[in-house]
Structure 1
Amino acid sequence: MSTTSLKLPDDLKARAADLAKAQHLSPHAYMVEAIRRATEQDALHQQFVEDSIEARQHARDSGQGYAANQVHDYILNKARGGKASRPKPQSWRK
C-alpha cells in the first residue's frame, strides 16, 4: 500500500475528524472510505455517460426508439411487481 499526503483546509479536516469520531473510525479510515466511495461513484457515472453516448449513437444509426409513455408504464408495472411486456421499438424517422 502506498502513502499519500493530503493538505486539507482546517475546517474540512475538523469536520472529517468529527464525523469519523461519530462513526467510531479514525480520521484516516474515514478519509480512505470517503475516497473509495467517491471513486466508485465517479466510475459508475463515467460508465453511465459512456453507455448513454453509445445508446444515442445506436438510436441515430438504427432510427429506432421507444415511446416514453410505454416505457413509463413498463417501469411502473415492474416496480409494483406486476407483469409487464417490454415496449417494442418504433421507427422515429419519417
Structure 2
Amino acid sequence: MPNLSVKLDEATRQRLQEAAARQGVTPHALMVKAIDRELERAAAHDAFVARALQARAQVEASGSAIEGPAFADYLRQRARGKAATRPAPQALLPRDDSDA
C-alpha cells in the first residue's frame, strides 16, 4: 500500500493522539477513518448536486414547475392524513439574465 505523509502542527498532533486513545485505536486508524468519512461525505454531496442539476434541467426542458408554497401545503395535508389534490404545474416565467 502506498505511503502518504501528513504534516500536523503540535496541537493537532496532540489532539489526534488523545482522540485515538479515547477511542482505543491508533492515530493512523483514526486518520484513515476520518479520511474515509470525508470521502463518503464528498461523494454524497456530489451525487446531491448531480441530482439537483438533473432536476433543474428537467424543469427547464418542460417549461413548468409546481409552485413551492402550494406543494408544501399539499405535503402538509397529506402528512396529516387528509385528502389533497396535487397542485398543477405552472408555466415558468421568462428568465431575466440582465441581473447575472
Band of TM-score, shorter chain? 0.7 to 0.9
C-alpha distance in 2 between matches for 1:83 and 1:3: 59
Within 5 Å, give how 1:23-62 maps onto structure 2.
23-62=23-62
Aligned to 1:10: 10
Q: Residues 85, 51 of structure 1: CA spacing in aligned structure 2 closer, same or farther, 3 A cutoff?
A: farther
Whether 2:91 is the aligned partner of 1:92: answer: yes
Q: TM-score, normalised by structure 2?
A: 0.72
Identity %: 32
Aligned to 2:68: 68
Unaligned runs of 5+ in 1: none
Q: Secondary structure at the match of 1:19?
A: helix
C-alpha distance in 2 between matches for 1:51 and 1:38: 20
Unaligned runs of 5+ in 2: 94-100
CA contact (8 A) 1:63 1:92 kept: yes
CA contact (8 A) 2:66 2:87 kept: yes
CA contact (8 A) 2:77 2:84 kept: no
Once the two structures are TM-superposed, the CA of residue 27 in structure 1 deviates from its matched residue by 0.5
Q: TM-score, normalised by structure 1?
A: 0.76
Aligned length: 92
C-alpha distance in 1 between matches for 2:85 and 2:4: 49
Letter in 2 for 1:37: R
